[in-house]
Amino acid sequence: MKILMYNTVSDEMPYVEKWTEKTGHEVVTIDQPLNETTVDRAKVFDAITTQQTTAINAPVYAQLAQFNIKQIAIRQVGYDVLDLPEAFAHNIRLSNVAAYSPRAIAEYTLTQLFNLIRHNKKFDRAMNKGDYTWAAGGQAREIHDLTVAVIGVGRIGTALAEMLHAMGATVLGVDPIYRAQNEPFVTYTTLDDALSRADVISFHTPLNDETRYMADENFFDKIQPGTIMLNFARGEIVDMVELEKALESKLLAGAAFDVTPNENDFMNQKQDVTALPADVKRLIEYDNFLLSPHIAFYTNTAIKNMVEMALNDAVTMVNGGVTENEILR
């Protein structure tokens, strides 16, 4: 089978090569996304895969159908780039990679939690100025003494909860879906109860109407003084004005974010720090606020899984088979 792989990045190439060696299929990689201009490239192929943040608009699907392309396998979780009604109207099957590595995000959430409780940013900043005293950062806390509220105990939240439990932390879970298999390491409770007991609050919900700005003024009113807040899910879950207020008033002992509502303006880009959004510039000044450029997912395992799962799904769907990654009508 001949597969065209849109928007390929160099990190993906070793896994593409291994996959073609193993399966005998042919993969041609290009570095442009799929759109009205590049859709013609698909003409001589049997299947396509892409990974992109730009929309795949209506005319693309009609064109793909004309080329007898029967599927699009996206190498990412978020499928808001696809026009589902248009794809289905042209009998194009769709798949995403919903769980390429929940542990990647969970491990990085944990990394930043440890960085916060160990005051590493404070110590680093002080040491850069020649201050090697213990007082520069202050006393740490230990993970097994902490109660962590995991808000959204899905794929990533479950992976994190298991890790935290294994290290002796108390894990509270908040999720409208109860999963009995999580009972050995999560105590399910209500949001209000979790907020009243948690030393650490970690968001792992999708972004939807219910979770958009879930952490608003009312939410911050319910948390304990000295709480640590972690957001490795979606920027718009937390109201950044309220976050800043809570850092300023020391309601929060610290926060670590991998996502922000305005991240498309600066993340995964190179620019002068003076050009950063004003709120980001202010936030990164806090020595108890850690920002990372949406890299929680970025591990070798995750990239390998994204490539292999999407390519396998492409072949399966062209052959009329069934994959659990299919986006259903």
Provide the annotated active-site residues: 234, 263, 294
H or E segment to which residue 194 belongs: helix 191-197
Q: Is 97 in the site for ligand NAD (CB under 6 A)?
A: no
* Selected range binding ligand NAD among 119-127, 173-181, 246-254, 269-277, rule: CB under 6 A: 173-181
∠ CA 16-259-113, nearest 5°, is: 100
Is 318 in contact with 48 (CB distance < 8 Å)? no
Closest separation between CB of residue 84 and ligand NAD, Å? Answer: 18
In single-letter form, the type of residue at position 55 comes to A
Concatenating the DSSP letter of every residue in 253-316 gives EEEEES--TTGGGTTT----GGGS-HHHHHHTTSTTEEE--S-TT-SHHHHHHHHHHHHHHHHH
Q: Is 194 in the site for ligand NAD (CB under 6 A)?
A: no
Non-local (6+) Cβ contacts of 208 within 8 A are none
* Selected range binding ligand NAD among 53-61, 82-90, 149-157, 275-283, rule: CB under 6 A: 149-157
Closest separation between CB of residue 6 and ligand NAD, Å? Answer: 20
- Which one among 8, 112, 205, 316 touches ligand NAD, defined by CB under 6 A? 205
Q: Is 155 in the site for ligand NAD (CB under 6 A)?
A: yes
Question: What does the block give as tokens for 150?
Answer: 């995991």
Closest separation between CB of residue 43 and ligand NAD, Å? Answer: 33
Closer residue to ligand NAD, CB minimum distance, 83 or 107: 107
* Selected range binding ligand NAD among 16-24, 53-61, 175-183, 315-323, rule: CB under 6 A: 175-183
Paired residues of 229 in beta bridges = 201, 255
Question: Distance (Å, rounded) from C-alpha 28 to C-alpha 42?
Answer: 10
Closer residue to ligand NAD, CB minimum distance, 137 or 152: 152
Question: Distance (Å, rounded) from C-alpha 329 to C-alpha 168?
Answer: 43
Site string for ligand NAD, 266-305 (x = CB under 6 A): ----------------------------x-xx--------
Q: Is 151 in the site for ligand NAD (CB under 6 A)?
A: yes
Q: Is 103 in the site for ligand NAD (CB under 6 A)?
A: no
Closest separation between CB of residue 167 and ligand NAD, Å? Answer: 20
Give the torsion sign (CA, 250, 254, 259, 262): positive
Q: Which residue has the tokens 């879906």?
A: 177
Site string for ligand NAD, 43-82 (x = CB under 6 A): ----------------------------------x-----
Cβ burial, residue 138 (10 Å; 0-12/13-18/19+): exposed
Question: Distance (Å, rounded) from C-alpha 2 to C-alpha 47?
Answer: 7
Question: Distance (Å, rounded) from C-alpha 243 to C-alpha 121?
Answer: 18
In single-letter form, the type of residue at position 60 comes to V
Closest separation between CB of residue 298 and ligand NAD, Å? Answer: 7
Closer residue to ligand NAD, CB minimum distance, 107 or 244: 107
Q: Is 156 in the site for ligand NAD (CB under 6 A)?
A: yes
**Closest residue (Cβ) to ligand NAD?**
154
Size of the site for ligand NAD (CB under 6 A): 28
Q: Rule CB under 6 A: which residues touch ligand NAD?
A: 77, 102, 105, 151-157, 174-177, 204-207, 210-211, 232-234, 258-259, 294, 296-297
